Amino acid sequence: MATKEIAGKTIELDADGNLAKLTDWNEAVAKELSKEEGIEQLTDRHWAVINYMRKEFTEKGDAPSIRKLTKESGVDTKELYQLFPKGPAKKAARIAGLPKPKGCI
Amino acid sequence: MKKLVILGAGTAGTMMLNKLHGELDRNEWQITIVDQHETHYYQPGFLFIPFGIYSKKDVIKPKRDFFPSGINVITSEIEKIEPESNRVLLNNNSVISYDYLIIATGAKIAPEQTEGMKDKLWQKSIYDFYTIEGACALANYFKHWEGGKLVINITEMPIKCPVAPLEFAFLADSYFTERGIRDKVDIHFVTPLPGAFTKPKASAILGDFLGKKNINLTTDYNIARVDNDEKKIISWDETEIPFDVLVTIPTNMGDDLIARSGMGDELNFVPTDKHTLRSEKYENIFVIGDATNLPSSKAGSVAHFEADILFENFLSAIEGQPLQAKFDGHANCFIESGFGKGILIDFNYDTEPLPGKYPLPGIGPFSLLEETKMNHYGKVMFRWMYWNFLLKGVELPIESNMSMAGKRF
Ligand SMILES: Cc1cc2nc3c(=O)[nH]c(=O)nc-3n(C[C@H](O)[C@H](O)[C@H](O)COP(=O)(O)OP(=O)(O)OC[C@H]3O[C@@H](n4cnc5c(N)ncnc54)[C@H](O)[C@@H]3O)c2cc1C
């Protein structure tokens, strides 16, 4: 398994480049991952999405789809794409320290 | 008498009906099946209608041809399920109660989910081929079309038969070539996925086919709305793609009845145990086919493999035994690639499509992830097998769980 230095810690990554362990995550790690995803500054709105995703994942065992996200996190689709351009579900999951959403087949 | 009620008499419901009818003691069980329609549609055939290969009569048969005698058939729309009181309310105001319920109400397109989709260009310059109406309307349009920009767009995943849009692109290439106007038709395949298909190996190989066939590919594209005046689709990050004719695969959702019953997720799919096929919430409810939220493909072949598993688990459940049969997500799809050829893929939850031979290792006759004439015959034969074996619940000589034999990895 690949490892990487993130925010001063050696962290294990899965095949998709997402964190292998939920417990390795903290805010500093999130900030560094977001830079890799091309997001310079995490705002309150970003955090609303990230925190919602982590909560969903802990409760349900899977990252939410975009539909579920926009229905329940208080951030609509348009804004979601502004916050996490291109692939919001994938990007937000990675920054939140979660595996890539299984959703699509 | 114990009561089994099956909701939906499409591919999966009809298969389960025939399998269980042959097994359950008629003195102990009363079986009821409910569907709103009297006609069975062979949906995989819809793909061929726009290109004049099949017409409507090639894809329909009366549902009653596939019902065994001695069961209760109700033709009515289902209003809702009341899982707490084990009953189902029908649109004709009658109520049916059950001891066990099998939900097989499928998935359907929901174009109204996208702004501007079902607007003034609907069925004028914007078509779907996931319904019989859409497929037939598109056939009429293509007959007289003289070329321009053809955009094929998947709105969002999951969709039924995730390879069907690619097949549509391949067949369009073949069809317009044969009509001698291929040089006037610009085919553009626009998908929310990161590649031509979801799984990496198949995606790379299928992506190559698109290139070879001169079909443009745009990936990671998430449509937000359709501009009917300027004839273009616009993504959430404001990327515009113009079209002369848009073939859309709209959002696919479970039936509204699932929402009315409070039993679905955000797309009206029913949360289902991905191995046992039992409802995650109710012990006496099973779910099969496109109606489930399983992370497998929504396809008739998948429903067929699920049916073998559900059959075993249903018999265990009514005897009070633990459910031992486990579904592995097995899917098997013939991909029509145009010019009388086809490609075959075989995969499950954990293993992506790989090259090799199928179903007999080293022999075939089908070749996985390669374009051959034999694979095309497989697809053609599938319709015959569907009507004559699959729906009737007759065993096919194919394992329900996936096999690694004959694959290269
Ligand atoms: C264009 C296209 C191409 C395809 N190609 C392939 C292919 O090549 N290979 C393959 O394996 N699969 C293919 N499929 C997918 C395949 O057709 C489906 O996966 C399969 O039919 C699913 O079966 P099902 O029983 O779950 O749903 P369905 O067969 O759709 O049946 C659902 C039934 O429930 C009934 N119903 C729903 N709601 C209600 C209600 N409220 N009241 C009463 N009745 C209701 C409907 O009338 C319907 O009869 C394709 C699908 C499409 C659209």
**Does the CB atom of residue B279 touch ligand 1 within 6 A?**
no
pLDDT in tens, B224-236: 999 999 999 999 9
Residue B25 pLDDT > 80: yes
pLDDT in tens, B202-259: 888 899 999 999 999 999 899 999 999 999 999 998 999 999 999 999 999 999 999 9
Residue B144 pLDDT > 80: yes
Residue A39 pLDDT > 90: yes
Average pLDDT (A31-47) is 94
| ipTM value for the complex | 0.79
Residue A103's pLDDT is 56
Q: What is the mean pLDDT of chain B?
A: 95
Fold classification of B110-251 (topology level): FAD/NAD(P)-binding domain (3.50.50)
Q: What type of residue is A63? A: A
CATH of region B2-106+255-318: 3.50.50.60
Q: Does residue A38 sit at the B interface (CB-CB below 8 Å)?
A: no
Residue B148's pLDDT is 98
**Spatial separation of the C-alpha atoms in residues B238 and B153, rounded to whole Å:** 16
Contact B266 A103 (CB under 8 A): no
DSSP state, residue B47: G
Average pLDDT (B147-174) is 96
pLDDT in tens, B174-196: 999 999 999 999 999 999 998 99
Contact B266 A68 (CB under 8 A): yes
Q: What type of residue is B187? A: I
Residues with Cβ within 8 Å of B294's Cβ and at least 6 positions away in sequence, in order, are: B272, B274, B327, B329
Q: Of ligand 1's atoms, which has the minimum distance to the CA of residue B63?
A: 49
Give the predicted TM-score (pTM) of the model: 0.94
Percentage of chain B beyond pLDDT 90 is: 88
Of B1, B9, B22, B27, the residue nearest B100 (C-alpha): B1
**Does the CB atom of residue B35 touch ligand 1 within 6 A?**
yes
Residue B38's pLDDT is 98
A104 an active-site residue?
A: yes
Q: Supply B374's token pair.
A: 């034999």
Contact between B276 and B313 (Cβ < 8 Å): yes
CA distances from B406 to A8, B203, B330 (A): 47, 20, 16
Chain B contacts in chain A segment 67-86 (CB below 8 A): 67-68, 71, 77-78, 80-82, 85-86
Distance, CA B292 to ligand 1 centroid (Å)?
12
Q: What type of residue is B174? A: S
Residue B55 pLDDT > 70: yes
CA distance B108 to chain A (A): 17
Band (pLDDT 50/70/90 cuts) for residue A104 is very low
DSSP state, residue B122: B
pLDDT in tens, A55-78: 999 988 878 888 888 888 889 999
Residue B88 pLDDT > 50: yes
Residue A105's pLDDT is 40
pLDDT in tens, B336-358: 999 999 999 999 998 989 889 99
Domain ranges of chain B: 2-106+255-318, 110-251, 331-390
- Give chain B's contact residues with A (Cβ, < 8 Å): 156-158, 162, 192-194, 198, 220, 222, 224, 236-237, 265-267, 295-297
- Identify which of B162, B224, B267 has the shortest CB distance to residue A105: B162
The residue ranges of DSSP E strands in B157-239, in sequence order, are 185-190, 216-218, 223-227, 232-235
Residue B366's pLDDT is 92
**Spatial separation of the C-alpha atoms in residues A43 and B226, rounded to whole Å:** 31
Residue B394's pLDDT is 86
Percentage of chain B beyond pLDDT 70 is: 100
